[in-house]
Amino acid sequence: MKATNKSPEIEAALFNFTGKSRIDTIAKGECMFCEAKNLRSIISFRDHLSLKEYRISGMCQDCQDAVFSEEEE
Query: pLDDT per residue over 42-52, tens digit each?
Result: 889 999 999 99
- Scored b (16 or more CB within 10 A) or e, 51-68 reads bebbeebbbbbebbeeee
Query: What is the structure's pLDDT at 73?
Result: 55
Kindly state whether residue 35 falls inside one of the protein's structural domains: yes
Query: What is the structure's pLDDT at 41?
Result: 84
Query: What is the structure's pLDDT at 70?
Result: 79
**Contact by Cβ (8 Å): 33, 18:** yes
Kindly state whether residue 3 falls inside one of the protein's structural domains: no
Kindly state whether residue 24 falls inside one of the protein's structural domains: yes
Burial of 15 (C-beta count, 10 Å sphere; 0-12/13-18/19+): middle
Kindly state whether residue 73 falls inside one of the protein's structural domains: no
Query: What is the structure's pLDDT at 72?
Result: 59
Average pLDDT across the chain, whole number: 93
Kindly state whether residue 50 falls inside one of the protein's structural domains: yes
In this prediction, residues 51-55 reach a mean pLDDT of 96
Domain that holds residue 18: 8-68
- Name the residue with higher pLDDT: 1 or 5: 5
Give 68's contacts (C-beta < 8 A, 6+ positions apart). none
Kindly state whether residue 1 falls inside one of the protein's structural domains: no
